[in-house]
Amino acid sequence: MAIELDLKQFIKDQARALGFCGAGFAGARLGSEYTRRLQVAIRPPYVRWEPEARTNAASLLPGARSVLALAFPYRERMGLQLPAPGQGYFSPFAQAPDYHSLVGEKIEALISKISQQLPDLRSAYQVDNGPCSERVWALAAGVGWQGKNNFIIVPDAGSFVWLGLLALDIPLEPDQPLASACGDCTRCLEACPTNAYPEANRFLWPRCMAYWTTDKGELSEGQCRMLSRHQIVYGCDYCQLACPHNLVHGEPGTVELAPLFDISAAEFRRQFGDTAFWRGRRVLRRNARIAAGQPPGTFLIG
């Protein structure tokens, strides 16, 4: 037991040294309560999963015995300020380097550190690109608790985090899940301009402005008016920026709109080629024009 505890602490210490703000262990197969969370979740049509596979680490690593759930911050501090005239809100989530590569490289470095202690270790990892659900494993492993807006809130770090999983072929004692620290607070629900959260943990994605900004189809006039009113280019984050656990703010997530109206392919690659913005140049140009209040009919994608 002492050796196991030392190994767990060693792994967590190495994760912290690499910049992870949360790390916790869970078993290789989660209980039915986590499967039910996925079964009842209301999700966009492009998100598909089998709940049983999403809660079984064998989907990621055959023979897995335990899972390390990890959280990595977008940046040390997030901005609360709303866009000034001529600016648009662009979520820091999509301005940062592509998290699949960034967090993946950090996990690979962690595997290297662990393998120095366990040369025969077998492992596999995912960062929003594998068969398992990062969110439910982060809950089970005590990395954070689920806010009423469904985001994972990490103690002392908030919810502006990327999540990753590392499956291991060694058994390690699971950590305990965290109790919610949200209490009676409903700021995240009240902050949503479109009432996408009619009640705690009930998310109606068709109402979400962040989802609208990823849609490659034609947006309705009502959607355009709302995006223009809030000067949103990509993402939204109102429900996160309102959260008291995220109230350590720095540089805001804003961009100048005019340079995006007719951004060239070369400039798009230069500015966004290595970031997590994945919807393409035409969507970006359309969204920038909507945020600037250009009249309907001038921002169809073509």
- For 37, the 3-state DSSP assignment is helix
**Annotated catalytic, 128?**
yes
Among candidate residues 128, 175, 215, 237, the one labeled active-site is 128
Strand partners, 71: 22, 163
DSSP characters over 143-157 = S-EE-TTS-EEBTTT
DSSP 260: G
Secondary-structure percent of the chain, ordered helix, strand, coil, rounded to 5: 35, 15, 45
Contacts of 83 (CB under 8 A, 6+ apart): 89, 231, 252, 254, 291
Burial class (CB in 10 A: 0-12, 13-18, 19+), 43: exposed
What angle is formed at CA 232 by the lines to CA 147 and CA 98, rounded to 5 degrees? 70
Strand partners, 245: none
First vs last Cα of the chain: how many Å apart? 62
**Which residue, 20, 275, 1, 120, is CA-closest to 12?**
20
**Which residue, 165, 135, 124, is CA-closest to 49?**
135
Question: At how many degrees (to 10) do helices 281-291 and 221-229 cross?
Answer: 70
* Residues assigned a catalytic role: 128
